[in-house]
Structure 1
Amino acid sequence: MNNNREIIALLRERIPSFECVPGCHDCCGPVTTSSEEMSRLPVKTDAEHEAALNEFDCVHLGPKGCTVYGERPLICRLFGTTPRMPCPNGCRPEVMIDLKTERQIHHYIRNTRQVLV
């Protein structure tokens, strides 16, 4: 595996999914992500970023939730799937993420240039 796009795809496949509480966006605050993941997201204006930061929200949080859900960054996908990043409402997948994959995600985050979403 030699490029970040392949690494991201592999890690995404290994993150378990689960149902959130409808209307909850407690984990949708400002986060950082890799430049590769950021390149998949719509470009927002400085004003949109500032408005979101003033509310401690993600710039991609819309009235009905995440507007980039299918392309949300790894860090967003990780919330609620590990005891180290629990959902504040107790939601979780049937089987939590395995420790090896969680470590690989954090390794990827540590070793790539991160930008504010």
Structure 2
Amino acid sequence: MLLISNVQGASAEERTRLGVALAEIQLLAVDVDKRGQGLATRLLRSCEVALSLRGCQYLLVKMNRDQSVVDWYAARGFQVLDDGQPFALRFEGRVVVFKDEPDEFRVGVKALTRGGY
């Protein structure tokens, strides 16, 4: 599980601002008989646009370990992290490092603004 409260070297105020700059999707699902119609892709894209308009810079997603799910997110621009892999985001002119603790999920990250992460 990835927690903003565990961001290394960040004050409480910085974690609050980071909470606005960073959004997390914990579940995105489409009913089995509706899959393959592009509904999840359109829903994800709508979330990305709405979050971006609100000033969100990065989107994290927790996904199950099914390879088809991992591939789906990767095809939509997410970098899917390995267990325990730290990753760094640019935030307010500095680099903030996160570390995902191993659990039953994989984590993907995507920059919603130009410049990436």
Shorter-chain TM band: under 0.3
TM-score by length of 1: 0.28
More strand per residue: 2
